[in-house]
């Protein structure tokens, strides 16, 4: 039987080609994901090795929650330590050099007058030290004052600057002119990050004006081990616990430990990317399973006489079953092997794309045994699982019945499937309704998970019900073709409704992709509508000023505030701190985002609904808490809270509870309290709200503020409409990525339509010959197949969009507390998708229609 199975694969390799291609596409995504993650990991490991090459590091305890502090790197954010501790460390026996690490964000203007393009990687400054072996100068000389700087080699290439060029820098919020004196080669790709070096006094003044740094780096003398030196330093500086926090104020760790921690943190972040991509790979393979199942179902029907003959000569049902699964395994193995090559091609293209965007990935494209084995196993498992049901049907066909039947056997009743589908879909709809009702009653606990389970139930139930509803829906959909394209419409309708299981299975692959696309479209448009409504309701400002780096430079804040056209300029600054009840355990405090504001901002440039108390209490040093946060934490009006950061702790009282989808931050504090906690300079704002002075028009204000912001390069000045558009563009970017990933599943679904039509032509060869013999022309035959394809594609698309839009419609109610307040349905976009489905149907029918039209009439009539 093994020989028979392999011969069948070889004999029908072209027929099985699209099934192999479906596996290839899905496995390519999996193999590419593994290879891309390995390459990203290698790249960032190189950055860690290049940037953390010291033997010992001194750092603060893990008490800090200021996760967005300006001089922080990846990993746990810790309390800062005194920079002058380097003098003590330098005197420890075995220390060759000790350096305070001065670092912070800045803006670099390239040779073309704009900041170098990045993929979101940061631009930051460092102190250059002659004794640091990790930053050798490859060209030029060291900087000697505030007007000079060095560039990392990749940054110099991206910026277009050469040694001797002068350019603009925005450092510590101030615009300055400086000259490039040299190029530093760190020996590794920085993955698009822009790195600028200053002499140590300049870096200290810019990035550590308070004399506090995040780390101190130590080089050991020759012959002194990392752990030995770390123990000596610990003995000198002391390790007594801080009574207030219960942690050591200064922690000493070896370089190996610091590098391992950084790698673990990066690996966890890359793991999210890997999971995200593998979800879409799983969707693609699931969709591909429909093609494989359809292929084997049709080939089994076409080979019933052959299978019956095998049974007649002694083959058992188990042997027939195994022979079909062997064929599926061969398809899976071929698809998996080709998928590995496809994955390498995908990563090659991504590497080139990242390189063009300024993010050079290090090393060659990796291919390890794990990736190969997982890809092959995955291809085989998906193929065998998809072919299992058709194989079972083949094994259970009675030999005599199959041999006397001249046409494919009729499918069984759909009653049991219909009942099962109705139960599953009904349960899913019920779960969605319960989630919506609970959310509407402000009982939000668990509603998100309930909605997710309901969505799964609705999709699975719809897949089960698709064959049951196919006949009725397709009968209605085909009415225009029956009326306007006689007799082609009638023939096409008969063909697509003759076997509703096959039609539904083919359409279901497209339905899955379209349901996800439809839901994503509704969510994107609804989020944009929600943001527009929220900003219109709460913003009183005429202009919003933001920065591409996330902080508006202090110089820009002061310059804009001083304009005579400006009546009010309110700065909003956000950071993350530990917040907990003053009466509770400090360990139970939660890291929450906190917004620092001038108490007068409310009613002047912003308005927010107060649920309890008054926002006027901010002027008295009290804080305001978001309603949802207060409910989650069990806080009420008048409760005492403790806010802790690297700088210490502050006890405050809840003076009001507010509800603001636009602000969205859990805690709002007066700027005086925020200044006591913030590590970043107080003048570094997250956002600036600007209101015109009396008698100043919008155009005059816009022109004046834009001119004041222009020297700072990365500052954007927007009115409310432009601000909403900027937020919407971020959603559009995410949506584009989502569409691209979901596009793979839709491509596979289109291949399924091609595959089904092609196999259907083979199955109906004699019927096609008879139709041609009684006068049906070649163009009419091709037209019939095109109509079949269009009906199948539109059926799957309409079913998918109905499911996707229906599920997405429940989300504004369930997630209203997060700012998702409006439901908007993009009817024009959904109509475009249906139009695309028609085009897909026409294109998918091309090859099968051409093949059917070219069948010789006499050969087709006499085919066995």
Range with the poorest average pLDDT among 37-41, 419-423, 783-787: 37-41
The pLDDT score that the predictor gives to residue 75 is 41
Is 80 exceeded by the pLDDT of residue 709?
yes
Is 70 exceeded by the pLDDT of residue 50?
no
The pLDDT score that the predictor gives to residue 843 is 86
List phi, psi (to 5°) of 576: -120, 130
Helix-then-strand count for the chain, H and E: 27, 23
Inter-residue contact 150 to 130 (CB < 8 Å): no
The pLDDT score that the predictor gives to residue 74 is 38
Is 60 exceeded by the pLDDT of residue 789?
yes
User: Which residue from 129, 153, 157 is spatially nearest to 140, judged by alpha carbons?
Assistant: 153
Inter-residue contact 462 to 429 (CB < 8 Å): no
Q: Is 539 helix (H, G, I), strand (E, B) or coil?
A: strand
Separation between Cα atoms, residue 226 and residue 218, nearest integer Å? 10
Residues 6+ apart with CB under 8 A from 17: none
Inter-residue contact 566 to 702 (CB < 8 Å): no
Is 80 exceeded by the pLDDT of residue 300?
no
Q: Quick: pLDDT tens for 123-180.
A: 889 999 888 888 889 999 999 988 999 998 888 888 899 999 999 998 887 888 999 9
Give the containing element (helix H, strand E) for 745: helix 720-763
Is 70 exceeded by the pLDDT of residue 51?
no
Q: Residue 99 burial by CB count (10 A; 0-12/13-18/19+): exposed, middle or buried?
A: buried
User: Which residue from 527, 590, 566 is spatially nearest to 730, judged by alpha carbons?
Assistant: 527
Is 80 exceeded by the pLDDT of residue 534?
no
The pLDDT score that the predictor gives to residue 289 is 81
Is 50 exceeded by the pLDDT of residue 782?
yes
Q: Report residue 725's pLDDT band, with 50, 70 and 90 as the boundaries.
A: confident
Is 70 exceeded by the pLDDT of residue 1?
no
Residues 6+ apart with CB under 8 A from 479: none
Range with the poorest average pLDDT among 62-76, 182-196, 575-589: 62-76
Q: Is 683 helix (H, G, I), strand (E, B) or coil?
A: coil
Q: Report residue 35's pLDDT band, with 50, 70 and 90 as the boundaries.
A: confident
Q: Report residue 14's pLDDT band, with 50, 70 and 90 as the boundaries.
A: low
The pLDDT score that the predictor gives to residue 148 is 93
Is 50 exceeded by the pLDDT of residue 486?
yes
Most confident of 409-423, 609-623, 669-683, 731-745: 609-623
Its pTM stands at: 0.72
The pLDDT score that the predictor gives to residue 242 is 44
Separation between Cα atoms, residue 250 and residue 215, nearest integer Å? 10
Is 50 exceeded by the pLDDT of residue 68?
no
User: Which residue from 841, 831, 827 is spatially nearest to 796, judged by alpha carbons?
Assistant: 841
Separation between Cα atoms, residue 276 and residue 839, nearest integer Å? 30
List phi, psi (to 5°) of 179: -115, 135
**Between residues 355 and 557, which one has the greater pLDDT?**
557
Inter-residue contact 522 to 808 (CB < 8 Å): yes
Inter-residue contact 644 to 589 (CB < 8 Å): yes
Separation between Cα atoms, residue 18 and residue 104, nearest integer Å? 54
Is 60 exceeded by the pLDDT of residue 240?
no
Most confident of 14-28, 407-421, 521-535, 822-836: 822-836
DSSP label at 142?
-
Range with the poorest average pLDDT among 38-52, 80-94, 627-641: 38-52
Q: Quick: pLDDT tens for 605-656.
A: 988 888 899 999 999 999 999 988 888 888 999 999 988 876 778 899 999 9
Write down the H helix ranges in 601-679: 627-633, 671-677
Q: Which two tokens stand for residue 527?
A: 């989020």
CA distances from 364 to 38, 157, 263, 348 (A): 10, 21, 20, 9
The pLDDT score that the predictor gives to residue 401 is 61
**Between residues 447 and 671, which one has the greater pLDDT?**
671
Strands 590-597, 667-670: parallel, antiparallel or unpaired by DSSP? parallel
Query: Whose structure tokens read 């037209």?
Result: 783
Inter-residue contact 151 to 111 (CB < 8 Å): no
Q: Is 366 helix (H, G, I), strand (E, B) or coil?
A: coil
Separation between Cα atoms, residue 643 and residue 262, nearest integer Å? 27
Q: Quick: pLDDT tens for 744-769.
A: 777 777 877 887 787 777 777 788 88
DSSP label at 587?
G
DSSP label at 219?
E
Q: Which two tokens stand for residue 127?
A: 């102190």
Count of CB atoms within 10 A of residue 675's CB? 15
Q: Which two tokens stand for residue 7?
A: 């011969």
Is 90 exceeded by the pLDDT of residue 564?
yes
The pLDDT score that the predictor gives to residue 202 is 93
Q: Residue 854 burial by CB count (10 A; 0-12/13-18/19+): exposed, middle or buried?
A: exposed
Q: Which two tokens stand for residue 268?
A: 């966890």
DSSP label at 602?
B
Is 50 exceeded by the pLDDT of residue 247?
no
The pLDDT score that the predictor gives to residue 362 is 62
Q: Quick: pLDDT tens for 350-383.
A: 777 776 666 666 666 777 788 888 888 988 998 8
Task: Tell me the DSSP string of 59-116.
Answer: E--TT---TT-TT--SS-----EETTHHHHHHTSTTEEEEEE--EEEEEE--TTSSPP
Most confident of 263-272, 548-557, 587-596, 664-673: 664-673
List phi, psi (to 5°) of 98: -130, 130
Range with the poorest average pLDDT among 341-345, 358-362, 376-380, 409-413: 409-413
**Between residues 279 and 87, which one has the greater pLDDT?**
87
Q: Quick: pLDDT tens for 167-201.
A: 999 888 788 899 999 999 887 777 677 889 999 99
Q: Quick: pLDDT tens for 204-227.
A: 998 888 888 888 999 999 888 999
**Strands, E assignment, 120-268:** 123-127, 137-140, 148-152, 166-171, 174-184, 194-198, 212-213, 215-220, 251-254
**Three-state secondary structure string covering 295-326:** HHHHHHHHCHHHHHHHHHCCCCHHHHHHHHHH
Is 80 exceeded by the pLDDT of residue 791?
yes
**Between residues 7 and 387, which one has the greater pLDDT?**
387
Q: What is the CA radius of gyration of the chain?
A: 33
Q: Which long-range contacts (CB under 8 A, 24 or more apart) does 817-822 make?
A: 817/444, 817/628, 817/661, 818/661, 818/664, 819/530, 819/531, 819/534, 819/661, 819/662, 819/664, 820/526, 820/527, 820/530, 821/530, 821/533, 821/534, 821/661, 822/526, 822/529, 822/530, 822/533
Is 50 exceeded by the pLDDT of residue 4?
yes
The pLDDT score that the predictor gives to residue 634 is 86
The pLDDT score that the predictor gives to residue 458 is 92
List phi, psi (to 5°) of 150: -115, 160
Q: Report residue 795's pLDDT band, with 50, 70 and 90 as the boundaries.
A: very high
Q: Quick: pLDDT tens for 447-472.
A: 878 888 998 899 999 988 988 998 89
User: Which residue from 56, 59, 61, 60 is spatially nearest to 90, judged by alpha carbons?
Assistant: 56
Average pLDDT, the chain: 81
Range with the poorest average pLDDT among 133-147, 348-362, 474-488, 700-714: 348-362
194 alpha-carbon distance from chain centroid: 24
Write down the H helix ranges in 160-199: none
pLDDT over 70 percentage in the chain: 87
The pLDDT score that the predictor gives to residue 670 is 93
CA distances from 392 to 287, 318, 397, 399, 430 (A): 21, 9, 9, 14, 34
Range with the poorest average pLDDT among 27-31, 244-248, 285-289, 678-682: 244-248
Termini Cα distance of the chain: 24
Q: Which two tokens stand for residue 273?
A: 């990317």
Range with the poorest average pLDDT among 107-121, 398-412, 522-536, 623-637: 398-412
Strands 166-171, 148-152: parallel, antiparallel or unpaired by DSSP? unpaired
pLDDT over 90 percentage in the chain: 16
Is 70 exceeded by the pLDDT of residue 407?
no
CA distances from 7 to 10, 12, 388, 708 (A): 5, 9, 19, 77
**Between residues 114 and 652, which one has the greater pLDDT?**
652
498 alpha-carbon distance from chain centroid: 42
Per 3-state DSSP, the chain is made up of helix, strand and coil in percentages (nearest 5) of 55, 15, 25
Say whether the peptide bond before residue 457 is cis (omega within 30 degrees of 0): no
The pLDDT score that the predictor gives to residue 724 is 78
């Amino acid at each position: 039987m093994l020989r028979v199975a392999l011969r069948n694969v070889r004999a029908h390799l072209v027929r099985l080609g699209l099934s192999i291609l479906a596996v290839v596409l899905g496995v390519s995504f999996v193999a590419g994901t593994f290879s891309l993650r390995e390459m990203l990991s290698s790249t960032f490991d190189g950055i860690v090795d290049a940037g953390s090459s010291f033997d010992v590091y001194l750092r603060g305890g893990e008490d800090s929650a200021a996760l967005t502090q300006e001089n922080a790197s990846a990993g746990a954010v810790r309390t800062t330590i005194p920079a002058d501790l380097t003098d003590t460390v330098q005197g420890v026996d075995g220390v060759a050099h000790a350096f305070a690490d001065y670092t912070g964000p800045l803006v670099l203007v390239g040779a073309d007058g704009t900041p170098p393009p990045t993929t979101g990687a940061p631009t930051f400054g460092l102190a250059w030290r002659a004794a640091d072996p990790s930053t050798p100068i490859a060209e030029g000389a060291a900087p000697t004052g505030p007007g000079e700087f060095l560039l990392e080699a990749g940054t110099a290439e991206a910026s277009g600057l050469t040694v001797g060029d002068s350019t603009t820098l925005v450092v510590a919020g101030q615009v300055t002119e400086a000259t490039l004196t040299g190029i530093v080669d760190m020996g590794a790709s920085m993955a698009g990050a822009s790195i600028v070096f200053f002499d140590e006094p300049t870096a200290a003044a810019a990035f550590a004006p308070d004399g506090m740094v995040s780390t101190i780096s130590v080089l050991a003398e020759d012959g002194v081990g990392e752990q030995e030196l770390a123990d000596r330093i610990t003995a000198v500086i002391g390790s007594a616990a801080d009574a207030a926090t219960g942690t050591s104020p200064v922690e000493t760790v070896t370089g190996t430990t610091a590098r391992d921690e950084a790698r673990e943190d990066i690996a966890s972040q890359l793991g999210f990317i890997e999971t995200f991509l593998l979800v879409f790979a799983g969707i693609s393979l699931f969709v591909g399973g429909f093609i494989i199942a359809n292929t084997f179902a049709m080939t089994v029907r076409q080979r019933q006489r052959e299978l019956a003959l095998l049974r007649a000569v002694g083959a058992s049902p188990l042997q027939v079953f195994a022979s079909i699964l062997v064929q599926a395994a061969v398809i899976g193995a071929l698809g998996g092997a080709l998928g590995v090559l496809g994955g390498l091609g995908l990563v090659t293209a991504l590497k080139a794309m990242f390189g063009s965007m300024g993010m050079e990935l290090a090393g060659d494209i990796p291919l390890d045994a794990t990736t190969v084995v997982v890809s092959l196993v995955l291809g085989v498992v998906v193929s065998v699982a998809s072919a299992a049901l058709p194989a079972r049907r083949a094994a259970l066909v009675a030999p005599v019945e199959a041999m006397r039947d001249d046409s494919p056997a009729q499918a069984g009743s759909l009653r049991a499937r219909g009942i099962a589908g109705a139960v599953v879909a009904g349960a899913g709809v019920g779960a969605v309704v319960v989630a919506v009702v609970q959310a509407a009653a402000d009982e939000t606990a668990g509603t998100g998970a309930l909605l997710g389970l309901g969505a799964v139930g609705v999709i699975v139930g719809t897949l089960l019900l698709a064959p049951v509803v196919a006949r009725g829906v397709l009968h209605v959909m085909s009415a225009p073709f029956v009326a306007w394209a006689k007799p082609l419409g009638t023939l096409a309708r008969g063909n697509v409704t003759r076997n509703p299981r096959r039609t539904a299975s083919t359409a279901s692959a497209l339905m899955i992709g379209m349901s996800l696309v439809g839901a994503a479209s509704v969510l994107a448009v609804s989020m944009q509508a929600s943001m527009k409504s929220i900003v219109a309701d709460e913003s009183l400002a005429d202009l919003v000023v933001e920065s591409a780096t996330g902080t508006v430079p202090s110089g820009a804040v002061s310059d804009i505030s001083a304009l005579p056209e400006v009546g009010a300029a309110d700065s909003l600054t956000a950071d993350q701190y530990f917040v907990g009840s003053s009466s509770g355990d400090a360990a139970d405090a939660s890291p929450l985002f906190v917004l620092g504001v001038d108490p007068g901002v409310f009613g002047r440039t912003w308005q927010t609904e107060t649920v309890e108390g008054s926002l006027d209490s901010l002027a008295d040093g009290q804080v305001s808490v978001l309603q949802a946060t207060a409910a989650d934490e069990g806080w009420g009006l008048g409760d005492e809270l403790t806010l802790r950061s690297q700088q210490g702790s502050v006890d405050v009282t809840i003076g009001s509870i507010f509800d603001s989808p636009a602000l969205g931050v859990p805690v709002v504090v007066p700027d005086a309290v925020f200044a006591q906690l913030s590590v970043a300079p107080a003048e570094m704002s997250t956002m600036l709200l600007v209101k015109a002075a009396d008698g100043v028009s919008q155009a005059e204000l816009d022109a004046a503020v834009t001119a004041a912001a222009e020297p700072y390069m990365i500052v954007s000045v927007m009115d409310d409409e432009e601000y909403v558009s900027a937020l919407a563009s971020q959603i559009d970017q995410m949506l584009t990525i989502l569409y691209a990933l979901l596009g793979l599943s839709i491509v596979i679904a289109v291949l399924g339509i091609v595959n089904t039509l092609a196999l259907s032509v083979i199955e109906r060869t004699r019927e096609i010959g008879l139709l041609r013999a009684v006068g049906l022309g070649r163009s009419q035959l091709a037209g019939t197949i095109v109509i079949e394809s269009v009906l199948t594609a539109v059926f799957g698309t309409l079913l998918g969009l109905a499911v996707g839009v229906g599920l997405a419609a429940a989300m504004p109610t369930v997630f209203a507390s997060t700012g998702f307040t409006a439901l908007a349905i993009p009817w024009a976009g959904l109509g475009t998708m249906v139009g695309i489905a028609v085009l897909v149907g026409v294109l998918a029918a091309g090859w099968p229609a051409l093949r059917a039209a070219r069948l010789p009439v006499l050969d087709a009539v006499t085919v066995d």
